[in-house]
């Protein structure tokens, strides 16, 4: 019996603030309605012009509505503040919990908006490289190509990348999107090897292979550059020298 009385007292203690708020709200509404009625009666009796009387009635009604709203805010302000904090906390927790999912969706929108690649393109992002075989709003699937950046062999592995990577990482599309493009081949030599003769042989071989396409490629690249306001590049093959180490020489053929 005592336990039941204690529970009832606790419930009353918890409900007391709510009861006070409800009573205050009721008294506020009654007071506003009474004042509204008194003011409307006063306006109807003392304002003779119908146009002015309507104007005053509307303005008084709006004033009392505003007064009612302000009173409700003052009465329920603490509770509204608590609810607002709870809503903000829930929103922040939701954003933190679904951050990666949101980034994946943003990456998907960015990918579609920029047309960065399509099915069948060979792309590289960070250390991942392969041919695109599928993509959806959350992930992009690649057939891995490697090992290394210079290899073009399929490894047999399938890479599933989250689209969030496209938001913060640079994407390289290795699939040619123009009719002619430049190819670069690097061949290493020791410093005491006959790299001078190799350089001449590589240049002659490049000129011989490019000769049938050189004029057409030049016209295409000039037109392509003019459309974009760029200086047209030279289509003549060339071999340059790089020295990555004191005892090494790399011949880079373009």
Residue 60 lies in a domain: yes
pLDDT at position 187 is 87
pLDDT at position 170 is 87
pLDDT at position 10 is 60
Residue 157 lies in a domain: yes
Residue range(s) defining the domain that contains residue 120 = 107-173
Percent of the chain with pLDDT over 70: 92
Phi, psi of 49 (to 5 degrees): -75, 130
pLDDT at position 13 is 59
Residue 102 lies in a domain: no
Query: Do residues 127 and 87 share a domain?
Result: no
Q: Tell me the pLDDT tens digit for each residue of 53-81.
A: 777 877 788 888 888 888 888 877 777 77
Residue 179 lies in a domain: no
Query: Do residues 69 and 118 share a domain?
Result: no
pLDDT at position 2 is 41
Query: Do residues 92 and 11 share a domain?
Result: yes
Q: Tell me the pLDDT tens digit for each residue of 170-185.
A: 888 877 666 777 888 8
pLDDT at position 1 is 46
Residue 178 lies in a domain: no
203-223: average pLDDT: 87
210-216: average pLDDT: 88
- Is residue 191 a contact partner of residue 247, using CB atoms and an 8 Å limit? yes
**Number of folded domains that form the chain:** 3
Q: Tell me the pLDDT tens digit for each residue of 10-19.
A: 665 556 677 7
pLDDT at position 5 over 50: no
**Mean pLDDT score of the chain:** 81
3-8: average pLDDT: 50
108-129: average pLDDT: 84
């Amino acid at each position: 019996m005592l336990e039941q009385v204690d529970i009832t007292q606790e419930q009353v203690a918890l409900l007391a603030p709510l009861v006070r708020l409800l009573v205050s709200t009721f008294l506020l509404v009654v007071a506003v309605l009474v004042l509204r009625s008194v003011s409307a009666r006063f306006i109807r009796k003392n304002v003779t012009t119908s146009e002015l009387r309507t104007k005053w009635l509307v303005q008084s009604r709006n004033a009392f509505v505003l007064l009612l709203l302000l009173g409700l805010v003052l009465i329920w302000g603490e509770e509204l503040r608590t609810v607002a904090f709870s809503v903000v906390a829930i929103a922040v927790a939701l954003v933190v919990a679904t951050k990666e999912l949101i980034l994946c969706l943003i990456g998907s929108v960015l990918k579609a908006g920029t047309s960065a690649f399509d099915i069948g393109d060979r792309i590289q992002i960070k250390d991942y490289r392969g041919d695109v075989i599928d993509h959806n709003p959350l992930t992009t699937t690649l057939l891995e190509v490697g090992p290394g950046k210079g290899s073009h062999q399929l490894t047999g592995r399938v890479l599933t990348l989250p689209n969030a990577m496209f938001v913060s990482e640079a994407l390289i599309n290795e699939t040619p999107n123009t009719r002619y493009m430049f190819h670069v081949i690097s061949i290493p030599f020791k410093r005491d090897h006959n790299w001078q003769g190799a350089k001449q042989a590589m240049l002659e071989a490049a000129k011989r292979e490019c000769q049938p396409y050189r004029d057409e490629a030049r016209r295409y690249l000039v037109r392509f550059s003019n459309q974009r306001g760029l200086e047209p590049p030279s289509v003549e093959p060339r071999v340059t020298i790089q020295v990555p180490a004191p005892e090494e020489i790399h011949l880079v053929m373009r």
